[in-house]
Structure 1
Amino acid sequence: MQFLLVSDTQSHIRASKQLHKDNSLYGPADSWFQDTNIKRLFGIPYGIKKVNEYSSIKSVLDYGCGKGGLVLALKKTLCSDISIRGFDPGIEEYSTMPKEKFDIITCVDVLEHIDRHAIDAVLNQIKNSMTGFMVFIIDLIPAIKSLADGRNAHILLAPPEYWASKINQAFDYSICFNVGELKNGEKYPTRFIGCCCNDYKYYDAMNVFIKESNFGNMRLIMVGGGVVEWSMMRKDYKKLT
């Protein structure tokens, strides 16, 4: 299976390739393991590890994996007999979409980089490539970086309601919510996060992931200028890789 695109929906792939080509420091794999990496703080590998203890899984795909930081973290955390793959059309090493289906697909800060005209095709490709469920994080605020053509790197900036609609159109079941607030505690969504699947039998496994990761524990505080600070509502968040 190749990346599902038509002629007028490839600009995000070209832009991603150019961004990685122009900036070798953009999204290096080892940045995943930095304490300041907000994506790491969500505790995705640990959450999937606990899902595997609840209901054995055999394969995980990181869709839109960049240079492979989460792929490395998953390999470090999960059992060696679990197949862990990455796909990203903007990175040569990961540019071929695997043909097999996966028990879990992660999609972290990816969908906001997709052209609006291609988002349905991308979600359908993910749906058709999984047997279990998808874990997603969608950034709702502008990126710090810009593309060569002047657009913000987050091509598809949309409110949580838009993403909830898209997720519910593509998948039959979902657990999703907003994360984000201002310093005064007023709600200010900065991420739309959750899990989704096409078969109710995976609903309990999705709940295990939400509970055991930091998805339900993170506080993201918008302080201005695109800067987001974080804290945890519970102190027992030793769930990082």
Structure 2
Amino acid sequence: MLSDDYRKNLVGLHGNAKWGSSTDIPQMALEAVANYEIKTLLDFGSGKGKVSETFRQTFPELSVHSYEPALEGATLPDQTEMTFSKDVLEHVEPHMLEYVLYDLHQRTTKVQYHLIACHKAVHYLPDGRNAHLIIETPDWWQRLFRSMGFQIRAENVIGDIKHPPGRASIATTKYECLLERS
């Protein structure tokens, strides 16, 4: 799902202690697990696996599969009831995005949750590119999902201002959505 060159760049970012270490699960995703009676979940782009751990603690009966494509030998389950990604899709190589979404669509039997950053990242890849390879508006993501046959069941646009140490403040926008198979 990613090129060897890009994998090497991501391995460099994984050396950062904060990279991929978030533990919080957005409310929309928590509600989806409960409302759709999810038994299997794919944490796609799981980073250091902290969100996967939080899912396991919050829902002890939930079978969670962590997948981090930057790690050598990472595997995907054949099927899962729910796919979860948080701050992941904007890191996908642009030429691979539709393939990745199609693949997730085929693996996911009930619902997908995505939280997508629609702004530049604070971090840069070792090759100098911004870590967010895809910087598009929420409208752009909506059109893409609909064009691929997804049904958007819930969505939210979240705006914020980040103040990274030693850098200028960054206006951020994130697009949160819940997608069903059509």
Match of 2:104 among 122, 126, 133: 126
Stretch of structure 1 that moved more, 148-157 or 168-177:
168-177
**Percentage identity across paired residues of the two chains:** 23
The answer on whether the counterparts of 1:19 and 1:26 sit within 8 Å (CA) in structure 2 is: no
Cα distance change, pair 64–114 in 1 and its aligned pair in 2 (3 A):
same
Distance 2:25 2:85 in 1: 15
- Return the offset for 1:164: 1.2
The answer on whether the counterparts of 1:113 and 1:155 sit within 8 Å (CA) in structure 2 is: yes
Residue 68 of structure 2 corresponds to 88
Residue 43 of structure 1 corresponds to 27
Q: Deviations over 1:131-189 (max 9, x none)?
A: 0010000001111111111011111111222211211122331032322167xxxxx76
3-state SS of paired residue (1:104): strand
Superposition CA RMSD, Å: 2.3
Residue 79 of structure 1 corresponds to 60
Residue 220 of structure 1 corresponds to none
Distance 2:44 2:57 in 1: 18
Cα distance change, pair 157–28 in 1 and its aligned pair in 2 (3 A):
closer
3-state SS of paired residue (2:142): helix
Aligned length: 172
1:176 aligned partner, one-letter code: E
Cα distance change, pair 173–149 in 1 and its aligned pair in 2 (3 A):
same
The higher radius of gyration belongs to 1
Residue 168 of structure 2 corresponds to none
Q: TM-score, normalised by structure 2?
A: 0.83
Whether 1:180 aligns to 2:164 is no
Q: Which structure is higher in helix share?
A: 1
The answer on whether the counterparts of 1:19 and 1:147 sit within 8 Å (CA) in structure 2 is: yes
The answer on whether the counterparts of 1:112 and 1:155 sit within 8 Å (CA) in structure 2 is: yes
The answer on whether the counterparts of 1:45 and 1:73 sit within 8 Å (CA) in structure 2 is: no
Whether 1:58 aligns to 2:39 is yes
Residue 14 of structure 1 corresponds to 8
Whether 1:161 aligns to 2:139 is yes
| Structure 2 unmatched runs, 5+ | 162-170
Distance 1:162 1:84 in 2: 30
3-state SS of paired residue (1:112): helix
- Return the offset for 1:45: 6.0
- Return the offset for 1:91: 2.4
Residue 127 of structure 2 corresponds to 149
| Structure 1 unmatched runs, 5+ | 33-39, 183-187, 200-241
The answer on whether the counterparts of 2:25 and 2:51 sit within 8 Å (CA) in structure 1 is: no
1:46 aligned partner, one-letter code: L
3-state SS of paired residue (1:135): strand
- Return the offset for 1:48: 4.0
Cα distance change, pair 111–58 in 1 and its aligned pair in 2 (3 A):
same
